[in-house]
A and B are shown apart, each in its own frame.
Chain A
Amino acid sequence: MDPESYLYIGILFFLLGAVISLLPLPKVKNYTYILSSTGALSFALLSLHLLFATPRNLFSAQISSLFNLAFSGDAISGFFVLTISILTFAVSIYSIGYIRDLKNKGLMGFLFNIFILSMYAVVLSGNIITFLISWETMSIVSYFLVTFDREGKSAKAGLIYAVMTHIGTAFIIILFFLLYRYTGSMNFSDMKNLSSQIPENLRNLVFVFSIIGFGTKAGIIPLHTWLPKAHPAAPSNISALMSGVMIKTGIYGFIRISMDVLGQGPEWWGIAVIVIGAASSILGVMYALMEHDLKRLLAYHSVENIGIILLGLGASMMFKSNGLYTLSAIALIAGFYHTINHAVFKGLLFLGAGSVMHATHTKNMEDMGGLLKSMPYTGLFFLIGSISICALPPFNGFVSEWLTYQSLLLGFKSPSITSKIISPLGGAALALTGALAAACFVKAFGISFLGMPRNKHAENAKESSLSMIIGMGILAFSCLLFGIFPGMVLTVLQPVSFMLTGLYGTPYQQGSLLGISETFSTISPMAILITLIVMSFATIIFISSIGGKRKIVYGDSWDCGIPALTPRMQYTATAFTKPIRMIFKRIYLPRRELKVSYLVKPFFVKSIEYKGEITPFFDRYIYEPVIVFIHRIAERVKLLQSGSLHLYLAYILITLILLLIFGT
């Protein structure tokens, strides 16, 4: 079949899913997600066509005599379609079980399908108006999904999200128009061919705007502020999609404009991207560490991972402008690899968080604990997600971060001194990020899944339904798969690399080895995995041959002689992160309030109230002042409409007189 038919079949399935969800068929509603997952498969087939064939126009229709809707696809779109499809497939299956207890199932099904379609539309858009329509549709639908529970709090989060994204869109519109003005075309492909006509300084402007515009969606620091508010507010299957793939459409837009359409830029573009990436990754993970809301924590990790992706992409741009195409290809692949990896493991983690919330009715880790025993599968999958996101071998995050390290390390080969300096600094940032991420997920997994249950809900938690487990299982399996078979992912990435850098086959693959010939370095996660397994057996054999068979006695944990540990004595998430909070207090600006009330001062304490928080720096010192300023101006301007008719008449007179004086 030709790619168009996969496209139409896919669209058909999603639309069917959307429509059937709205019909009053309560039983059927739960299973419309099967249609979505089938649709995702169809789109996955389409993506393979796009990846391994020449770019083609898929669909085109007239909006009016002025504009056309046009969809087209090339390797870049293909890659993103594939990423979306993988996550959609798993999330759809997960949703079957997840939405069972949800109110407004029908609306959820409708929005879910439209949301996914709009994401596909974004990455397949062939011209600017199609892109804008798809982009904003995606934003609006996701806005509705964020505000799905219709509570005031989510409404506020949704509002911030929608407004931020709209600001981004404004920049995108301007940059599109700049491109249109100087290339005379609204099609991305024509723009790309004619982009050399754009004056140099305007190219820079387009680049800056693409960072702001798409960066808002992607959630780079300091434009990330909506992300930790909106993602947690949405139902978890949606959070998974939002964090896993929706923010990647921002990356897609950035790649499409700054790397594809504009082609090669000056060196500082790449450096700027690296700096932004480094800042996003470090600050993202640092704020994540201080979160005790499981979903907000994960949302901040999205900021971090977008930063890591940008480190790779930035390095790629930097090398390209320095003429080092091989290195550029490596860095590019690192960025893309991390993109797909993040989609998989972040999706998995959000689904896991969703299952946990489903079982414990809370997002607050301080109320969880001991869930691994009551929810063994969810726990295992969450653990796999955690290991992957911490880039620990042999899972997928390791491979992409390793590639990113390699590409940053290779910066020393660059002829420019700035690149040479900036790239190891990027590497240091990545190392710091990695360590912080590990600490963060020790906290996230340790506090919520290990130890003792901290309240009734956690104690009575039940394992999720089968479809949810399968959904998570698919993603967990993918984490392992993409980790131990990097060659598989590379096959998909090579066309993209070829399209953007003109190179195939770097980094190379050889059996289970992933190698970079420039540094003679190789890794083989498969070999590491095998070593771990073989050595475990060897160890077990060795131990029992020396120690023989020994008894295991179960008892209470060491309690210093005080009878019975209670869950309240456990380390909390707040306590866990205290040293980090203290060490980085310049960044966190922690504040604490201690209120002690006494019966007899200072001997008998009645109660102690402790309140601690870290300062949300960007909200407090950037966004709030701006909002306050605008509101203050607005209050002033409001005096214009003071209710006095005489004043209004005076406006007419003054307007006329001014026009008479200056107009004629």
Chain B
Amino acid sequence: MKNWIGAFSVIDFISVGILITAVAMNALRRLESCVKAYTLNSWLLSSLIAIVAFMMGETHLYIASFVTLLSKGILIPMFLRRIVKQIKVTHDVDPYISNALSLTISGILVAVVYTSLKEGIFVAGFSKNVLQISIAVIFIGLFIMITRKKAITQVIGLLFMENGLFLAGFSLTFGMPTVIELGVLFDMLMGVIILGIFTIQIRRAFASADLDKLTILKG
């Protein structure tokens, strides 16, 4: 049992790390750093899955951990870096909300998630914390998408959301059937690639990587 408790605390520890990287993302301005924050986030996620796999002794979780590391930890960051290079923008300055405020709001989001997910809903799983953290990460990811102006940062925000989603998935259910997991991952990968392509097209068509130019369609 001790071993289990230890494992749980490790899981909590890592998941808090995931949350912190997500919150930190709010304050980052250099696109390079944003990608790095995401990479770190993904690695943490992958290692968490690996620990779960170790605890449960399930092979398919190892595979999941590996696939996560490969796609989210290596392939997607590489892809993002290439796009950053192509669109020739280095910084995402001038967000809609100031650093301090956005950090505060992130805090509030975490608080809201903690209060609204009441006790007693979740009886199984390893940790109530992990679920709440994962939902908080999803919300923060969404919040990043709301405050940032560059297309690429929005994609990163989306990726944070997905990491949070995976965290939730594994913390709740120890993962889905493999086929499904792969399908989900594949879908997301495709989504990110297409978003990347569109990012470049936005840069070309609008002569800017800023999304606030995309307000022609309204009413």
Interfacial residues, chain A to chain B (CB-CB below 8 A): 638, 641-646, 649-650, 652-653, 656-657, 660-661, 664
Contact = CB atoms under 8 A, between A and B. Distances in A.
Interface string B91-120: 000001000000000000100110011100
A646 B148 CA distance: 8
B135 to A, nearest CB: 9
Contact of B118 (A644, A656, A664): A664
A652 B142 contact: yes
Interface stretch (B44-52, B78-86, B210-218): B210-218
A661 B146 contact: no
A646 B112 contact: no
B218 A661 contact: no
A650 B96 CA distance: 12
B146 A653 contact: yes
Main secondary structure of the interface of A (DSSP, over half): helix
A646 B216 CA distance: 14
B145 A646 contact: yes
Given A649-B146, A650-B146, A657-B112, A644 B212 contact: yes
A653 B142 contact: yes
A265 to B, nearest CB: 48
A661 B111 CA distance: 11
By size class, the interface of chain B is 20 to 34
Contacts of B214: 643, 645
A336 B93 CA distance: 79
A641 B139 contact: no
Given A657-B139, A664-B117, 15 more contacts: A638-B218, A643-B216, A644-B212, A644-B215, A645-B154, A646-B211, A649-B142, A649-B145, A650-B146, A653-B142, A653-B146, A657-B109, A657-B112, A660-B112, A660-B116
22 contacts: A638-B219, A641-B219, A642-B218, A643-B214, A643-B215, A643-B216, A643-B218, A644-B212, A644-B215, A645-B154, A645-B211, A645-B214, A646-B145, A646-B211, A649-B145, A653-B139, A657-B109, A660-B112, A661-B116, A664-B116, A664-B117, A664-B118
B208 interface: no
B93 to A, nearest CB: 16
Contacts of A650: 146
A660 B109 CA distance: 11
A642 B214 CA distance: 10
A650 B217 CA distance: 18
A528 B143 CA distance: 89
A659 to B, nearest CB: 9
Nearest to A646: B146
Contacts of B146: 646, 649-650, 653
A394 to B, nearest CB: 64
A642 B215 contact: yes
Interface SS majority for chain B: helix
B218 to A, nearest CB: 3
Contacts of A656: 139
B102 to A, nearest CB: 12
A646 B146 CA distance: 4
Contacts of B149: 646
B147 interface: yes
- Residue picked from B96, B146, B217, most chain A C-beta under 10 Å: B146
A653 B102 CA distance: 14
Q: Would you list the 3 A-B pairs with minimal beta carbon distance, nearest first?
A: A643-B215, A643-B218, A660-B116
B217 to A, nearest CB: 6
A645 B219 CA distance: 13
B66 to A, nearest CB: 32
Nearest to B95: A646
A638 B147 CA distance: 22
A657 to B, nearest CB: 6
B118 A646 contact: no
A647 to B, nearest CB: 8
A641 B218 contact: yes
Nearest to B138: A656
Nearest to B219: A638
Contacts of A652: 142
A177 to B, nearest CB: 35
Nearest to B215: A643
Contacts of A649: 142, 145-146
Contacts of B116: 660-661, 664
Most buried by B among A646, A657, A660, A664: A646
Contacts of A641: 218-219
Contacts of B113: 660
B53 to A, nearest CB: 31
Contact of B217 (A638, A643, A660, A664): A643
Q: Which of B116, B211, B212, B217 has the most CB of A within 10 A?
A: B116
A643 B112 CA distance: 28
A646 B94 CA distance: 14
B216 to A, nearest CB: 7
Contacts of A644: 212, 215
Contacts of B154: 645
A620 to B, nearest CB: 29
Nearest to B108: A657
Contacts of B217: 643
Interface in B166-219: 211-212, 214-219
A366 B118 CA distance: 80
Contacts of B216: 643
A646 B143 contact: no
Contacts of A664: 116-118
B142 A646 contact: no
A446 to B, nearest CB: 54
Nearest to A656: B139
A443 to B, nearest CB: 49
B158 to A, nearest CB: 10
A285 B216 CA distance: 52
B150 to A, nearest CB: 11
A656 B212 CA distance: 24
Contacts of B117: 660, 664
Nearest to B109: A657
Nearest to A650: B146
Contacts of B212: 644, 646
B200 to A, nearest CB: 17
Contacts of A646: 96, 145-147, 149, 211-212
Contacts of A645: 154, 211, 214
Interface string B126-145: 00000000000001001101
Contacts of B145: 646, 649
